[in-house]
């Protein structure tokens, strides 16, 4: 059998659409792909999270290449985030192993954390502008050392969220960077967030591989669509009306949260 016999068109199409969205905004990878796999395609939560993490690492590597070529990545910020996220990811994966990831209790934990992460992502998308105004009025410009420490702490928080639910590296990460680095250009924030997601999701994905929660056929199908999708999205990032896109994405995420928790 050839490679193409393993590719399922519905998964490939989903990968392309979500890859393009990630390339344009830095948001939407785990926040849409994991719920899509669970709710629409009936994939087990642990398998959906693990497969989506490896999918995200390859997809965002493509986006990182484009943003790196365009010089829209702040590598110092990426390093600070990774300094917090990689150790936190390793510790979270160890905890999931001790809890036995395939158990019913862990499935409930993944679903609940996924719902909370999606809700936080939607709120970050909707209230980003007023949150920024309030933050800058109350906090103002912070000491560089405090900014560095908060960036590392943000990375640690993202490591925990992403390892359990595959959600958080996008909208939550972008919002945190906007608050911590208000003088950084929007494209550079998106590029830096995408670049940081590569080591984060790769370490988390390899950990889930070790835990046995990867579907390789599903991963191949998603990547077939997502790699060209994120490259296309990264090139067209500056042409997208960001406020409208963020509100539509937030509405979709809130519907997903309602479906996870109440139906």
Q: Please give the pLDDT value at position 90.
A: 93
Cα(51)–Cα(29) distance, rounded to whole angstroms? 12
CA angle (172 as vertex; 168, 177 as ends), nearest 5: 130
Does residue 18 sit within a domain?
yes
pLDDT digits (tens, 9 = 90+) for 49-66: 888 888 888 877 877 888
What is the chain's length?
263
Question: Which has more pLDDT, 186 or 203?
Answer: 203
Q: For residue 104, what are the CA distances in angstroms to 30, 111, 207, 262?
A: 22, 11, 20, 18
Count of structural domains, the chain = 1
Asked, for residue 236, whether it belongs to a domain, the answer is yes
pTM exceeds 0.85 for this model: no
Give the mean pLDDT of 232-242: 68
Is 1 inside any structural domain? no
d(CA 179, CA 132): 6
Comparing 31-35, 103-107, 204-208, the range with the smallest average pLDDT is 103-107
Q: For residue 72, is it within any domain?
A: yes
4 located within any domain: no
Residue 2, domain member (yes or no):
no
Which residue range forms the structural domain that includes residue 161?
A: 9-262
> How many DSSP H helices and E strands does the chain contain?
11, 0
Structural domain includes residue 94: yes
CB atoms near residue 119 (< 10 Å): 18
Q: By percentage, how much of the chain surpasses pLDDT 70?
A: 85
61: in domain: yes
CA dihedral 215, 218, 219, 225 (to 10 degrees): -170
The mean pLDDT value of the chain amounts to 81
d(CA 27, CA 170): 4
Q: Confidence class of residue 110 from pLDDT cuts 50, 70 and 90?
A: confident
């Amino acid at each position: 059998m050839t490679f193409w016999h393993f590719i399922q068109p519905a998964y490939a199409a989903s990968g392309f659409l979500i890859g393009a969205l990630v390339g344009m905004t830095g948001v939407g990878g785990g926040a849409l792909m994991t719920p899509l796999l669970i709710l629409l395609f009936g994939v087990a939560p642990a398998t959906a999270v693990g497969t989506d993490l490896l999918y995200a690492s390859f997809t965002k590597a493509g986006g990182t290449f484009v943003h790196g070529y365009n010089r829209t990545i702040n590598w110092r910020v990426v390093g600070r985030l990774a300094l917090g996220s990689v150790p936190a990811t390793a510790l979270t994966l160890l905890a999931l192993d001790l809890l036995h990831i395939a158990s019913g209790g862990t499935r409930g934990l993944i679903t609940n954390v996924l719902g909370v992460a999606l809700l936080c992502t939607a709120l970050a998308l909707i209230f980003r502008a007023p949150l920024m105004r309030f933050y800058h009025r109350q906090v103002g410009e912070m000491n560089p050392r405090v900014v560095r420490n908060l960036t590392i702490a943000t990375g640690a928080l993202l490591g925990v969220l992403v390892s359990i639910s595959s959600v958080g590296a996008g909208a939550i990460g972008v919002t945190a960077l906007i608050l911590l680095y208000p003088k950084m250009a929007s494209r550079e924030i998106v590029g830096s967030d995408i670049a940081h997601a590569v080591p984060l999701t790769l370490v988390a994905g390899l950990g889930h591989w070790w835990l046995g929660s990867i579907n390789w056929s599903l991963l191949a199908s998603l990547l077939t669509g997502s790699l060209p999708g994120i490259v296309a999205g990264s090139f067209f990032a500056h042409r997208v009306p960001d406020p409208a896109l963020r509100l539509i994405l937030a509405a979709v995420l809130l519907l997903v949260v309602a479906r996870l928790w109440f139906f």
